[in-house]
Amino acid sequence: MINARIYRSNEGLITSFTLSGHAAFDEYGKDIVCAGASAVTFGAVNAVLSLTNIEPQIDQGGEGGFLQVKLPSNLDGSVSEKVQLLLEGMVVSLQTIERDYGQYISVSDE
């Protein structure tokens, strides 16, 4: 199972997120749950990098199955708003996948 954990500040802002595990929906190369979760998260990270010019801390597992992204804590207001909008869109997309494939992916706020 893929576990997506979204970490938030006391104000509800996303500060980091972690995806770990494998969906095991189908064999490698045919696993649509894994492909969907990967596309959503990597697309969001790429959008943050490209559209906001910030440098989050990104850690990936060598064999896949792990992605951790931590945002800088000193973002100014307008950049923070953009980052939050992009990452909240990612969360909505992950929750949509979870709604249809909940036995293969779990999304939680921490």
* Tokens 């559209």 found at: 51
Active site residues: 22, 34
Nearest to 104 by CA among 37, 39, 24, 41: 24
| The two structure tokens encoding residue 28 | 């490698």
Long-range contacts of 56-65 (CB under 8 A, 24+ apart): 61/20, 64/22, 65/20, 65/21, 65/22
Cβ pair 36, 23 in contact under 8 A: no
Cβ neighbours around 55 below 10 Å, total: 10
